[in-house]
Amino acid sequence: MTTARLPFSPLLLLLRVSSTATPLVRTPAAGAGHGAVRWAGGGRRRIGRRRAAVVEEAGAQEDGVLLPKEGDEASAAASGVRYDWREEWYPLYLAKEVPHDAALPLTVFDRQLVLYRDADGVLRCHEDRCPHRLAKLSEGQLVDGKLECLYHGWQFDGQGKCIKIPQLPDGAKIPRNACARNYEVRDSQGVVWVWMSETNPPEERKLPWFEPYARPGFTDLSTVHELPYDHSILLENLMDPAHVPISHDRTDWTAKREDAQPLFFEVTERTARGFAGYWGRQRTPHLRNLLRFEAPCVLTNTLEFVDKNGKEQCFSAQFLCRPAGQGKSMLLVRFGNTVRSPLLKVIPAWYFHQNACKVFEQDMGFLSSQNEVLLREKVPTKELYLNLRSSDTWVAEYRKWMDRAGHGMPYYFGHSTLSTPLVPAVVEQAPAGAVAGISASFPAKGGVGSTHAPNPTNRYFRHVVHCKGCRATVNKYTSLKNAFAVLAAAAVAAAVLAATRQWKAVLLASAAVLAAASYACSSVLSLITTNFIRTHRRL
């Protein structure tokens, strides 16, 4: 019996569907922008072709295989499409992971924010900059629900108004402009969203709502990951099902390289705010996934079907990819389904979290190098990519959407146009080879017996610091490992002092068991905090 799999999930073992299941295709809501609409591309910089003539000739000869590089393209301004990256809701964090006793530094593009809960538990968000001397407010502390700058002790309420300056003389008034810029935040379906514009959100710009997650009995596993490459490259990777059998071969016992095959795609919507359509594997054409990209950074993939009992079932993968600065992104990933799996009851959550980390680490090396090439070459993707109809349709659609909306972004790389950052930042690269092996072998915080500065290529700083459950697990197993090690040493010492051979044997056996328990705890810590290193093998 063959199986159908959601291509993005490190939890594929939970999402197995019989290939005999009846597909359930839902028609998109009315007014969603149906039809084969042809959009005009545009931006601030146009680049001519750079590929050699022989490559162009080959592309022309293989038009049935290669996606065309040219299209009905005009500038975004000429098409009347206006886009402003600030007038959007951005996913900041999972609500359950926001600490109750500390401020959290976050970024959207180049805007630095600080998120925290006040004394009543209400989420608050300000610009991460004290108006006094520009110190980061996220370095401060919460005092009675007020955010206090750690530099001089200025305190700010939930609206960003300064309510205390310790250095002011008695009777002196706090200056009116001693305020931190405030941002509107809301919690929706367990995700914290921030509105980046100074203007209030218009009525039509509602918070993203994910219908499957509101269904009775729908369960999900959500994780947060910080990644060392641009959010556009992350989105491009997540909407690319063709790479899964190769890049994630046998990661979770279901993704297999021999399953690599041609895919089919059907674009059903193109709007100013994204695109949508169906895709599937040519060997199982009756199982059609619905993929939807919605500005600015929301990607969903949903598979609906009717099981053997005639009941409607749904699997959904949602990827909220926040731009966190040049060469950086923050991913809130949510895998959910209506099928109750017994594995969820016996396998701890940290195991699924570390497997998700492993999947992103398998991609991290080549995605970081892709980021580097785009910044170095400074040409649109149509000059660099060789997109295939049978695998890369969504990638091409996404980069063409960037052509339409990029004029309203701080920087972007589109299919036919681009705009590079005005102030380029240093892009942090993922380690490779021996360096990766050494880096990944260090303990959780990056060094032997010491705490080092955050390293975005280290799993501890990419995931564990953002996950309360994994942090608690690390603390618990660290304590158990140390306790077992001490007890094992005590048992060995007692065996040395024991008067009879029988007691020596019992104590030594106990020491061996305790040492094994300590090693098991160490192995769990390694799974949670150590990077995946790909071992190349002869197949």
**Amino acid identity of 421?**
P
Please name the residue that has the structure tokens 């989420």.
123
Classify residue 6 as exposed, middle or buried by CB count within 10 Å of its CB (0-12, 13-18, 19+).
buried
Interhelix angle 501-529/349-377, rounded to 10 degrees, is: 40
Cα Rg, the chain, nearest whole Å: 26
Classify residue 26 as exposed, middle or buried by CB count within 10 Å of its CB (0-12, 13-18, 19+).
exposed
Bridge partner list, 220 = 336
Q: For residue 318, what are the contacts with CB-CB under 8 A and spacing of at least 6?
A: 210, 213, 298, 299, 300, 301, 333, 334, 335, 336
Cα–Cα nearest to 236, from 110, 374, 44 = 374
Half-sphere exposure of residue 207, counting CA atoms within 13 Å on the CB side?
Answer: 17
- According to the model, what pLDDT value does residue 234 have? 96
- According to the model, what pLDDT value does residue 277 have? 97
**Amino acid identity of 338?**
T
Whether the ω angle into residue 296 lies within 30 degrees of 0, i.e. cis, is: yes
- According to the model, what pLDDT value does residue 82 have? 84
| Cα distances (angstroms) measured from residue 91 to each of 82, 196, 400, 472 | 22, 11, 23, 24
The DSSP secondary structure of 202-231, one letter per residue, reads PTTSPPP--GGGGSTT-EEEEEEEEESS-H
Cα–Cα nearest to 159, from 145, 180, 138 = 180
Provide the CA 250 distance to its chain's centre, in angstroms: 21
| Cα distances (angstroms) measured from residue 233 to each of 8, 84, 324, 409, 431 | 15, 20, 13, 15, 18
- Is 403:415 a contact under the CB 8 Å cutoff? yes
> Count H helices, E strands: the chain?
11, 22
Q: What is the mean pLDDT of each run of 10 residues along the chain (539 residues)?
A: 40 38 48 33 39 41 67 47 90 94 93 94 96 94 94 95 94 92 94 93 86 82 92 96 91 82 95 94 90 96 84 88 92 86 82 91 89 90 93 96 93 93 62 52 40 65 92 95 97 93 94 97 93 76
- According to the model, what pLDDT value does residue 23 have? 55
Phi, psi angles (nearest 5°) of residue 378 = 55, 45
Q: Where are the beta strands (DSSP E) in 423-517?
A: none
- According to the model, what pLDDT value does residue 507 have? 95
